[in-house]
Amino acid sequence: MKIHDITRPLYTGLPVWPGDTPAEFGFANTKAAGHAANVGRWRLSAHTGTHADAPFHYNDRGAKLDELDPALFVGPAVVLDVRGHATLTPGLLARHDLGGAPRVLFRTDTWTDLRTFPARWPVFAPDAPAWLAARGVRLVGMDVPSVDVIDSRELPIHHALDRAGIVILENLDLAGVAPGRYELIALPLKVRGGDGSPVRAVLRPA
């Protein structure tokens, strides 16, 4: 069975959100230096690379990472091809077959030069989260760094998704993934009190 790895790699120098913690990976101990084992060490934001947002990230009363049901991140999903659209409206989404899937991943192919953090990307219309929730969607995944625009302070789409009971995956790598139905596995780390976590996200054909 083919597995689609839809995770962006983590590495030192990975472009991150402007002003966020730089991503660094190195070794605290190495065999070459006489230690018993190679021991890696990370320094990075919880929102680096492909990651899950806990509602606490943008809502002080929201659920923290370890309070989320892991079942949200595993199960039937549909990939939609929305390339070429700057705003994801209910009218646009209605043209696609969600197939009753509770997890919807949006392929925009917006971030193509991975050496530079993008300045703009598609976002949902304000009424799209409620439209998705009314059709049973519990998770959305984007192949861009955020569900809001880069200079947003109020994060209206994050909050609209929260009100709709929809959790968020960001910065997926959906290049080359055909539209259709899959099984998603994208479990975040169980970080006590956490606001987010990198994930290893994969798709299996349904």
| Per-residue DSSP letter, 199 | B
Q: What DSSP line would sit under 129-158, residue for residue?
A: HHHHHTTT--EEEESSS-SS-TT-SS-HHH
Residue 20: the pLDDT is 97
Picking from 158, 144, 152, the residue whose alpha carbon sits closest to that of residue 57 is 158
Any idea how long the chain is?
206
Picking from 158, 95, 109, the residue whose alpha carbon sits closest to that of residue 129 is 158
Asked if residues 76 and 206 have their Cβ atoms less than 8 Å apart, the reply is: yes
Name the catalytic one among 4, 47, 57, 158.
57
Could you tell me the two tokens for 82? 């929305």
Domain ranges of the chain: 4-205
Residue 83: the pLDDT is 97
Task: Note if 4 is an active site residue.
Answer: no
- CA dihedral for 164, 167, 171, 173, sign (positive or negative): negative
- Residues of the chain predicted below pLDDT 50: none
Place of tokens 């309070």: 67
Residues 171-206 have pLDDT tens digits of 999 999 999 999 999 999 999 999 999 999 999 998
CA dist 111 and 45 (Å) reads: 20
| Per-residue DSSP letter, 41 | E
Fold of 4-205: Glucose Oxidase; domain 1 (3.50.30)
Residue 1: the pLDDT is 76
Picking from 126, 122, 80, the residue whose alpha carbon sits closest to that of residue 101 is 80
- Our CA angle for 110, 113, 115, nearest 5°, is 135
